[in-house]
Amino acid sequence: MPSLQAGDFRSHRAFAEADTDRFWLEEASRLAWFKAPTRAKDLSQEGVAAWFPDGELNTAWLCLDAHVAAGQGARTALIYDSPVTGQKAQWSFEALRDRVARVAGGLAGLGVEKGDRVVIYMPMVPEALIAMLACARLGAIHSVVFGGFAGRELAVRIDDAAPKVLLTASCGLEADRVIPYGPLVEEALALAARPPKHCVVLERPEAVMALQPGRDHSWTAFEAGAAPVDAVPLAATDPLYILYTSGTTGKPKGVVRDHGGHAVALAASMARVYDTGPGDVFWAASDVGWVVGHSYICYAPLLVGATTVLYEGKPVRTPDASAFWRVMAEYGVKTFFTAPTAFRAMRKEDPEAALRQGYDLSRLKRLMLAGERCDPPTLEWLQDRLAIPVIDHWWQTETGSPICALPAEASWVPKIGSSGVPMPGYELAVLNEAGEPQGPGISGQLALALPLPPGTLPTVWGDPARFSEAYLARFPGYYDTGDGGYIDEDGYVFVMGRTDDVINVAGHRLSTGEIEEAVAGHDAVAECAVVGASDPDRGEVPVGFVVIKDGVNQPPESLEPALLSHVRQALGAFVYFRRAVLVPRLPKTRSGKILRSVLRDLLEGRPPVVPSTIDDVRIVEEIAEALAKTAGSDA
Ligand code: COA
Ligand code: AMP
């Protein structure tokens, strides 16, 4: 009989395939449930699983109280390192539990109960993690909004989640400047149709935010004045959080994560992929606003009793390209996780990694990359400089943990360009347009057979129909990942990029539809198309092709900066919309569909593949000319 107690990765994967339910119940038995599940899953008509339906637990309790109860309360849970403020601090599991319990009490005092939503719009400060865990403790559903989003985007997410409370801070800090949150929050609250009744503001010394009596509360008083509360027992299927992610339309999708499946999947991944257990130091250099921040800054390290590092800084400019090496050495990081773009930035400033000298990296055992495809030169650069496995692995907001990775066992050797092999529970197929599985080496759409394993999204918040349409409708019986790629003869997976209108800018997932909506919001714009262009530093950057309304007299030289600044205001600077090409028309099919692939070809300098359905082929030449004219000014 197969078992998790014995065997290697291959036998675990075979176990998961042969007896899925028993495999996951065994994985689940590693956690301290309030009520252990007796059933692995219930299946919906569409084949979507609700995992561990009769189990009861609380993720925040597992992350904190469980370790205190096991006598490990004095161990370090959280290290905060902030080169942008010059602060460093640490909390033990017990100290963090006490702060979380008080903040949960404060939220309860504002009327937050199980099932209520709380939006968290905060920079990379310990209070962001405390806020997430406090919500989880109460059974409230948090929705963290990345601090780089502008007010309008915050408003869109507030309206979808309809939170009782907004937790925020007076500012965020970038390498070279302070970003006051006050104007962004006020704009969002003014735009929102369903604003929260209460805002709790973490007042940072770098910026003052005027508090509105009756609505706003100072974090310090809020936390100090609150009575601690215990963790609420929750059904495994109760939602833990909503995280909005870019889809193919302008409206972000609220990916829902449950308590039980999530905890089981994360704990399993820490052993199987990240080689991290109690007492190890784990650092994911991402942001709490993204899924990596949720899974691997906040929840997973704490679940397994490891120390998590929360770093408020950049890989470069805080103060230089030695920043990551310094943090790894200073805290004895064992497993490090970031997006390849961070290393591209470091490599650009320090091509030989000379700044690594003097830092003791002997405790670093594993370097994990995700968020975008790792370009082979960056991978090779790292492999040449670090005598440890450098592992590209693939996952998405929707899955919450890796779909593919390289198992932690030493016998698994990475292949350059591949993001490893499917993890137990993920049955990955390469499908052609007709939905037929393809053989080794043949490219197609990457799809996952249903049911998906624990930890994956059970639905889209408030919109089950969108969940079905966006993910399940295209290939019945499968979840469509939106990524294309192939599997080689040895079973290694090569993810080649999105096949939809999602682009990846410096590890940030963005929808071109969302950017198009923002561009179209400028008064001068008649219509526009946004596509991703390859970029040596950021992987991809958005480029707009914009048709200006008749009668607009503004000179083109001032229109482009106006459009760029408009998008920056509407969405946020991190979107990196730095090029808008003014064109007389957009290439379209006779039925009016914009031919984005033609725009992409022209941008990349490839001979465009022009379909016979184009309504007027002369437009291709016109756009090529417009691009040639602006190329000089970009250089
Ligand atoms: N709040 C406010 N503004 C933000 C922000 C935030 N949280 N994050 C980024 N910005 C702003 C930056 O200040 C910058 O503004 P500017 O145009 O005025 O200079 C702009 O958005 C672009 O930011 P960024 O892409 O971060 O560029 P950068 O040059 O500051 O840093 C990298 C480049 C590669 C170092 C950085 O993008 C990075 O670390 N990326 C990794 C991303 C990541 O962790 N992804 C998660 C998946 S693992
Ligand atoms: P996000 O939901 O922000 O995590 O972004 C998920 C998307 O990032 C995926 O659908 C992929 O397009 C891309 N991605 C993440 N990791 C990888 C990887 N290792 N290789 C290739 N693409 C990746």
| Span 211-235, pLDDT tens digits | 999 999 999 999 999 999 999 999 9
Going by C-alpha positions, the residue among 297, 284, 367, 281 that lies closest to residue 330 is 281
Name the phi and psi angles at 430, rounded to 5: -105, 120
Question: How far, CA to CA in Å, does 628 sit from each of 298, 351, 564, 581, 582?
Answer: 47, 32, 19, 10, 12
E-state strands within 150-202: 165-169, 171-173, 178-180, 198-202
Q: Domains in the chain, start-ordered, CATH in brackets?
A: 9-313+393-485 (3.40.50.12780), 509-629 (3.30.300.30)
CB 188 within 8 A of CB 154: yes
Closest ligand (CA of 539)? 1
User: What is d(CA 396, CA 615) in angstroms, rounded to the nearest whole number?
Assistant: 37
Q: What is the mean pLDDT of each run of 10 residues along the chain (635 residues)?
A: 84 96 97 98 97 98 98 98 98 98 98 98 98 99 98 96 98 97 98 98 97 97 97 98 86 96 98 97 98 98 98 98 98 98 97 96 97 92 94 97 95 93 98 97 98 98 97 97 97 95 93 94 96 95 96 89 97 97 95 93 94 92 91 50
Give the position of tokens 């080496």: 441
CB 390 within 8 A of CB 415: no
E-state strands within 53-140: 56-57, 76-82, 87-92, 117-121
Strand-strand pairing, 165-169 and 117-121 = parallel
User: What is d(CA 376, CA 399) in angstroms, rounded to the nearest whole number?
Assistant: 25
Does ligand 1 have an atom closer than 6 angstroms to the CB of 378? no
Closest ligand (CA of 395)? 2
Distance (Å) from CA 370 to ligand 2 centroid: 6
Give the position of tokens 């096991």: 70
- Those residues with Cβ within 8 angstroms of residue 166's Cβ, 6 or more apart along the chain or in another chain: 118, 119, 120, 121, 158, 185, 189, 195, 196, 198, 199, 200
Query: What atom of ligand 2 comes closest to residue 502's alpha carbon?
Result: 12
Ligand 2: which of 391, 396, 503 to mutate, most ligand atoms within 8 Å of CB? 396
User: What is d(CA 189, CA 158) in angstroms, rounded to the nearest whole number?
Assistant: 8
Does ligand 1 have an atom closer than 6 angstroms to the CB of 504? no
pLDDT for position 635? 36
Q: Is 534 helix (H, G, I), strand (E, B) or coil?
A: strand
Distance (Å) from CA 571 to ligand 2 centroid: 21
Q: Whose C-alpha lies nearest to ligand 1, atom 45?
A: 507
Q: Whose C-alpha lies nearest to ligand 2, atom 6?
A: 396
Q: How many CB atoms lie within 10 A of CB 70?
A: 13
Query: What atom of ligand 2 comes closest to residue 509's alpha carbon?
Result: 3
- Those residues with Cβ within 8 angstroms of residue 120's Cβ, 6 or more apart along the chain or in another chain: 128, 131, 132, 135, 142, 143, 144, 145, 166, 167, 168, 288
Distance (Å) from CA 585 to ligand 2 centroid: 32
Distance (Å) from CA 610 to ligand 1 centroid: 36
Q: Is 412 helix (H, G, I), strand (E, B) or coil?
A: coil
Q: Whose C-alpha lies nearest to ligand 2, atom 21?
A: 373
Ligand 2: which of 243, 419, 483 to mutate, most ligand atoms within 8 Å of CB? 483
CB 587 within 8 A of CB 595: yes
User: What is d(CA 383, CA 530) in angstroms, rounded to the nearest whole number?
Assistant: 35
Does ligand 2 have an atom closer than 6 angstroms to the CB of 76? no
Distance (Å) from CA 578 to ligand 1 centroid: 14
Closest ligand (CA of 396)? 2
User: What is d(CA 43, CA 31) in angstroms, rounded to the nearest whole number?
Assistant: 23
Query: What atom of ligand 2 comes closest to residue 292's alpha carbon?
Result: 4
In this structure, what token pair is assigned to residue 134? 């406090």
Distance (Å) from CA 101 to ligand 2 centroid: 34
Query: Taking the chain, what is the end-to-end CA distance rounded to the nearest angstrom?
Result: 64
